[in-house]
Amino acid sequence: MHLLPRLATLSLLLLGTGCMTAPQRPAAPQVEDPYLWLEDVHGAKPLEWVEQRNAETKQAFASTPEFERTRSRILEVLDSDAKIPAVTKIGDRYYNFWKDKDHPRGLWRRTTLQQYRKDKPRWETVIDLDALAKAEDKHWVWQGAFCLRPANRRCLVALSPGGGDANVVREFDLVDRTFVKGGFELAEAKSDVAWIDKDRIYVATDFGPGTMTKSSYPRIVKEWKRGTPLAAATLVYEGKDDDLAISASRDLTPGFERDFVTRAIDFYTSETFVRRKDGKLVKLEVPPDATVDAHREWLLVQLRDAWTLDGTTYPQGALLAAKFDDFLANQDKAGKRKLVVLFKPTDTTSLSAYSWTRNHLILNILDDVVSRLEVLTPRTGEWRREKLGGAPALSTIEAHGIDADAGDAYFLSVSGFLAPTTLYYGALGNADAAPLKHAPSFFDAKGMDAHQYFATSKDGTRVPYFVVARKDLKADGSTPTLLYGYGGFEVSLTPVYSGSVGRSWLERGGAFAVANIRGGGEYGPRWHEAALKANRPRAYEDFAAVAEDLVNRGITSRRHLGAEGGSNGGLLMGNMLTGYPQLFGAIVCEVPLLDMKRYTHLSAGASWIAEYGDPDKPEEWAFIKTFSPYQNLAAGKDYPPVLFYTATSDDRVGPVQARKMAARMREFGYSNAWFYENTEGGHGAAADNQQSAFMHALAYGFLWQQLAPKEAP
């Protein structure tokens, strides 16, 4: 089990959801901002402004037959019954959450492995979210279920009204397929819950004034006994107001039950404590920026920075192993702490992820952003190491254990920009994995190819990127090209198949590019740290270098080059707009951070100070202001057309930064600045497939209209 907080919100800025307005950090003195009124998320006047902007944008880009064709074809992809249903094993069944045209809110359903092997498995519905939403008159959005092992009968189900990170929690019976009357239940909040046993849970939630951090997450975790009021729950740990979040959990592995408390200090540093039976907390003495994981008798430590211990220096990005009980007993005794290096990065490799089976550890490794797998088997001294599977060129191959309590079975998936996912099933130590399911092809990839190139950034850094385009592409700069990027929070962008991109962009003759810029995790912690805080502009220089390289290769030109990114990638887009407008013909900026002066006072913004810095400190605002698009916006510039889209229910980044940026651009007379705000969907900006299809079609339609060569009259 991973010992970082299990808050879904801490996966942060890729995809997520939101509905409640989060507790706000006390406001600091502000320079004059005429659009502070737009920060009233649900206020009548701001929503009237939103409605007006939405109507303008829909009229301009969502009222044509071509838009409807694109939207319906994307919806076909999202609603397709032929997609591979992702499953999680709970007990002896395989569970899946599924959305389609008949179930827009979704079904939580289950089947057997025997059935899952079939082209059309027979599924048993566990929770029909559409029926529940109708019965309770709530716009429920699924947030997951956490079940009590090993019995796997009772689960804690999280549901968000509208898609936000804040959710309600209810106890559910998997046998009866009903919510437990009088069971554990939490009101809407950003909560973190975990089973202790059938009658006790750990709960970190909003217990009232002063119990949430400045980042809007729980500051207090308690032990709650069945049949008692929440107010009677026993305090386990209380963090500080400036902490990111507090949580607790129990490793439920039979024979290795352990309790943990985690204090997340900021996004990258934390303290992990073992909670003994008497309630005493014993801190694990590892670097605060390392992540720790327990599996049976083993402790794994993954390093973000180098660690010198007992005269040995372990490198940044390494994965280390120790016997858990031995390490805990000897952690204060020099020379007694025995660590084995399981992974050591090179200049081109990083550890993307790892996963346990009962007896083995699977490493997912990136080598110049291309995947490979290794299987490690514990033993005294150096662990046995073997390769697992083989990946086609420029593809993503991932493997993970299915049930580490039960055995060594694993799923392995292989996909690429032009190759739909194939899912394999195998058991380590037995025969190789065999194909289990094949995802359908949603677009005609004949005549297309994918390539990896490297651009040179301003400071000489080699920056990889991928391009997917037609083989017969003319190197005359005329191809409409969409460049996607993120560049933050150590998130890696790897080759993936997208039916939506294929149908909306590639089939129309466009090229699609993905930039692996600094700030991401493609080369491990060093690649991420190279763009932290004062170094954030390195990410923007990298993205600009990729854009210039696309033009220099003749793939496209400024007139035909567009850029897209969301959340932290929306901040990237804001900086492309204000800092590098000469490079792009159009930009789509999704659920973005843009006002870096006030971001820590909006929604969950305070939780990202470790990434960007604290604008309330003058010495840090001095560098933050260099990459704050809202403050750097100016009149009279040659900005490309831009579309901002966001969601009212986003309680992570929030909608107000996009609102204010669009309003400021309109004030400056930029008629090519467009805005759209969905009401639901949280940080993902869509609560169901219909909404997702609309938002994607809006973005692709806007970009194609701006970037495609104009036909002669």
Nearest CA-CA partner of 13 in 371, 269, 267, 351 = 267
Residue 436, SS3 per DSSP: strand
- pLDDT computed for residue 158 by the predictor: 98
Which amino acid, residue 26? P
Mean pLDDT score across all residues of the chain: 93
Top pLDDT among 27 and 626 is at: 626
Residue 414 bridge partners (DSSP) = 397, 422
**Residue 194, C-beta contacts closer than 8 angstroms, at least 6 positions apart:** 6, 146, 201, 202, 247, 248, 249, 250
Cα angle 625, 629, 631; round to 5: 60
pLDDT tens-digit readout, 144-202: 999 999 999 999 999 999 888 999 999 999 999 999 999 999 999 999 999 999 999 99
pLDDT of residue 233 exceeding 70, the answer is: yes
Strand 642-647 and strand 673-678: the pairing is parallel
State the Cα–Cα distance between residues 233 and 658, nearest whole angstrom: 40
Task: Determine which one of 567, 603, 607, 649 is catalytic.
Answer: 567
CATH architecture of 84-283: 7 Propeller (2.130)
- pLDDT computed for residue 27 by the predictor: 41
383 vs 175, 321, 386, 407, CA distance in Å?
41, 10, 10, 19
- pLDDT computed for residue 683 by the predictor: 73
Task: Provide φ and ψ at 540, rounded to 5°.
Answer: -75, -35
The token duo for 290 is: 């390392």
pLDDT tens-digit readout, 594-624: 999 999 999 999 999 999 999 999 999 999 9
| Half-sphere exposure (Cβ direction) of 229: Cα atoms closer than 13 Å | 3
- pLDDT computed for residue 711 by the predictor: 58
Mean pLDDT value across residues 272-298: 97
Task: Determine which one of 295, 360, 683, 696 is catalytic.
Answer: 683
**Where exactly does CATH 2.130.10.120 map onto the chain?**
84-283
Confidence of residue 235 (pLDDT cuts 50, 70, 90): very high
Confidence of residue 686 (pLDDT cuts 50, 70, 90): low
Q: Could you give the percent of the chain with pLDDT greater than 70?
A: 94
Establish whether 247 is a catalytic residue: no
pLDDT of residue 446 exceeding 50, the answer is: yes
pLDDT tens-digit readout, 453-494: 999 999 999 999 999 999 999 999 999 999 999 999 999 999
pLDDT of residue 22 exceeding 50, the answer is: no
Starting at the edge strand found earlier in the chain, the sheet holding 124-128 runs 88-90, 93-100, 103-111, 124-128
Beta strands in 417-472 (DSSP E): 422-427, 434-438, 448-456, 462-470
**Where exactly does CATH 3.40.50.1820 map onto the chain?**
448-688
- pLDDT computed for residue 293 by the predictor: 96
Confidence of residue 435 (pLDDT cuts 50, 70, 90): very high
Alpha helix segments (H runs only) across 147-272: none
The residue to which tokens 């007694």 are assigned: 336
Lowest mean pLDDT among 17-21, 241-245, 627-631: 17-21
- pLDDT computed for residue 432 by the predictor: 81
Lowest mean pLDDT among 66-80, 106-120, 142-156, 324-338: 324-338
pLDDT of residue 25 exceeding 50, the answer is: no
Establish whether 42 is a catalytic residue: no
- pLDDT computed for residue 3 by the predictor: 40
Confidence of residue 6 (pLDDT cuts 50, 70, 90): very low
Strand 370-377 and strand 384-387: the pairing is antiparallel
Domain 448-688: give its CATH code.
3.40.50.1820
Q: Are 397 and 406 in contact (CB under 8 A)?
A: no
- pLDDT computed for residue 19 by the predictor: 28
- pLDDT computed for residue 177 by the predictor: 97
